[in-house]
Amino acid sequence: MRSTLHDPLLTPENRLWRAVLEQAYVDAEGGSDSSDANKEECVDSAERIRARAYLRGDNQQEAAALIMVCGFAELPADRVLSWARKSYPRPRTQPQLASRARPQDSIAIAATLARQTRARSGEHASA
- pLDDT (tens digit, 9 = 90+) per residue, 104-124? 566 666 666 666 666 666 665
Residue 8 has pLDDT above 70, yes or no: no
**Dihedral (Cα; 6, 7, 11, 12), 10-degree rounding:** -10
Q: What's the maximum distance between 2 C-alpha atoms anywhere in the chain? A: 55
Instruction: Find how far residue 111's CA is from the centre of its chain.
Output: 14
Where do the domains of the chain lie? Answer: 11-126
d(CA 127, CA 119): 12
- Residue 9 has what pLDDT? 83
* CA 44 – CA 95 distance, rounded (Å): 9
Digit-coded pLDDT (tens) for 35-84: 445 555 545 588 999 999 999 999 999 999 999 999 999 999 999 999 99
Q: Tell me the C-alpha distance between 104 and 61, whole Å.
A: 7
pTM above 0.75, yes or no: no
